[in-house]
Amino acid sequence: MTDRIFGGAMVLLAAFFIWAAYQIQLSFITDPLGPRAFPIVIGVVLGLCGLVIAVKPDPEPGWPALSRIVEILAAAVIFFGYGQLLPELGFLICTFIVGAYLAWRLGCGLIEAIIAGAAVSIGIYVVFHLILGLSLARGPFGF
């Protein structure tokens, strides 16, 4: 029963995602696919996955322990905070914090998590900003 509820919730989320994608304003200068294509594809895949889960549920679903659910919720809060703080702290600092936290929660020691956060933050910055020339949120230090 819980799989059917979860699958139905995924289908509803997918419908909302696709609806939100159609709310994106198009400019007169756009690529052939436009800015709506990627969110619509994600919504369709999410909806299909939700349908499969709802139509063919697991007879004995195994749910994680409460402590694991709390960790998942904590990660969701971290990502929400990432989105809120990105304009103020910038890409490098926010990505470093999130990368280090997630590496720590996935089992790295504190020093390894800090190194992983720095490597992820700098690596993504180099690829997307320096190589591809995409604009990323600038922090208080101007980068």
Confidence of residue 63 (pLDDT cuts 50, 70, 90): confident
- Please state, in angstroms and rounded to a whole number, the distance separating the CA atoms of residues 43 and 49: 10
Q: pLDDT tens digits for 66-113?
A: 999 999 999 999 999 999 999 999 999 999 999 999 999 999 999 999
Taking the model in full, what pTM does it have? 0.67
Q: Average of pLDDT values for 56-63?
A: 84
The amino acid at residue 36 is: R
Question: In terms of C-beta distances under 8 Å and separation of at least 24 residues, what long-range contacts does 128-131 make, across chains too?
Answer: 129/91
The amino acid at residue 116 is: A
